[in-house]
Amino acid sequence: NAAEVISENFHVLGVSVFRAVTDPPALNCLSSTEKQSSQTQFAFDAGWMSDLRTQGRPFNLEAENNAWSDALRKACPTQFEHGGDRLVVPLVASDQLVGLLVLADRVNGVSYSHEEMDLLACIGDQLAAAFLNCSLTEKVLQAKELEAFQTISTFFVHDLKNAANSLNLTLQNLPVHFDDPEFRADAVKTVGRTVERINQMILKLSSLRHELQLHRLPCRLDLLCADVLEIGRASCRERVSSPV
């Protein structure tokens, strides 16, 4: 990973890669060569992120004296007395802070040259672009999930509307034809089929929380056709006035 590559090429024992999140404002440690000493996540004020965004290039963490520098020093402590100063590389993309690189405990405490600082800035730009692409990909996936949910909801709402229309039509005709035994028998069947259809929809909705598994089962075509015809009749009844 990025932390190990930077550690090997710059001879730094402690390299931590953080990703900035905004809700709530925090830094998540994605990888570190010192996993036991680095926090997985810690709160990081939005104002602090704004300050870091303006830094732009790699800078010496020990030269900073404010709240956010104290928080970073606490999150990424030095392990060796002669490891040199800690270095921070802000990861900025599209004018927003998307993450941080923190380098600590360089072998023999050697200072970073201008060329190394330029190279770290270039690496930071590449990581920032990768973080931004990941964030955009996540948003695209969320949008597709929402679109799929809306499509599924449309079908379920349509089925529920048909079930409600069927029950509503039965209730409208009930006071007029209650004394007709044939109507009462048909009404009981209609209510029973409608309740069963609603229960089936509830089962389908419940199954969406789990991985989809298809099971082949024998099916009576006459019952299937009867259900389809009943749904069709319920749709047609919407456009026909009930008898008075």
In contact, 200 and 231? CB cutoff 8 Å = no
Sequential pLDDT tens for the chain (244 residues):
788 889 999 999 999 999 988 888 899 888 888 765 545 888 888 899 888 888 878 999 999 999 999 999 988 888 888 889 999 999 998 888 899 999 999 999 999 999 999 999 999 988 888 888 877 776 666 667 677 667 777 777 777 888 888 788 888 888 888 888 888 888 888 888 888 888 887 777 776 655 556 677 787 887 777 777 776 666 565 555 444 4
- Note the pLDDT of residue 242: 46
pTM score: 0.58
In contact, 45 and 25? CB cutoff 8 Å = yes
Q: Which of 89, 81, 76, 87 is nearest to 108 (CA)?
A: 81
- 154 exposure class (CB count in 10 Å sphere: 0-12, 13-18, 19+): exposed
Which amino acid, one-letter code, is at 36? Q
Contacts of 178 (CB under 8 A, 6+ apart): 184
In contact, 90 and 117? CB cutoff 8 Å = no
Say how far apart CA 139 and CA 141 lie, in whole Å: 5
Q: Which two tokens stand for residue 177?
A: 């034809």
Q: Which two tokens stand for residue 71?
A: 């928080």
**CB-based burial, 67-95: b 16+ in 10 Å, e otherwise:** ebbebbbebbebeeeebbebbbbbbbbee
In contact, 65 and 43? CB cutoff 8 Å = no
Kindly list the distances between the CA atom of residue 217 and the CA atoms of 212, 214, 220, in Å, as whole numbers in the listed order.
16, 10, 10
